[in-house]
Amino acid sequence: MRSRASRSSEAPGARGAGLGRTARGALVALLAVLLACTGAAALATEAPAAEGEGAKAGEVVDYAKLLAPDRSGEGVIARTRRETTTYPYIERAQRLIAQGNLPEARKDLDVYLERDPDDLSARFTYGVLASSLGDSHAAVQAMTKVLEGRPGFGPALLYRAVARQKDGDDAGALADYQAAAKSDVLTRADRAEALDSVAQVAVNLHQNDVAPRRSTRSRRSP
């Protein structure tokens, strides 16, 4: 059983800080696939799960697909302008992620999002990347923007909860964990993690009326 300290330093799905070689490789593959969901050419078709991880990578990729922007109403001129101004950055970020150069990939995603701020899929990927680099403040900001565009989106709530917990905001983390656990978008593994985290954080906040009930539900999660 992992301690609260070790769990709070991790992100759901692919773990963030303190990655071993296997987990880091899984994270790099995951980020490459998430970026591919923005419409760029894929560098990877699936992200292999790290040893000991329960959630299937394909399920995680679906999170980004659910946020893919609807470009159906975009005119030819607008599309050409967008593609011209954003094209180099997503592709270069993919290459850098595939090489394991996450800090430089983050810089390209920063520029991309300045030019296409409404791309929630890229924004979600940025939040995952920021979390993996240990920047919980940026992860909270990114996931908050995702939630402004897609209220109640479970995966963003779960990532924001983890980041808030790392920042010491247990009250905010608890609210996000509780909301995430109600989402029908999360994989079973991530929902179980959300429920387990509700119990842990509630105990830290001395909200014992919440903790035992959630802990029981967590143990029953598959």
Chunked in runs of 10, what are the mean pLDDT values of the chain (222 residues)?
41 43 49 52 30 40 74 75 76 88 93 90 91 94 96 95 95 95 90 92 84 45 39
pTM for this model (two decimals): 0.69
The pLDDT score that the predictor gives to residue 69 is 77
The rounded distance, in Å, linking the Cα atoms of 139 and 74 is: 29
pLDDT at 29: 53
HSE-up of residue 141 (Cα within 13 Å, Cβ side): 8
The pLDDT assigned to 109 comes to 93
Burial 130-152 (b: 16+ CB within 10 A, else e): bbbbebbebbbbbbebbbebbee
Read off the CATH number of the domain in which 22 is found.
Answer: 1.25.40.10
Tell me how many domains the chain contains: 1
Domain range for 154: 4-220
Structure tokens at 199: 């119990």
- Other CB atoms within 10 Å distance of the CB of residue 36: 21
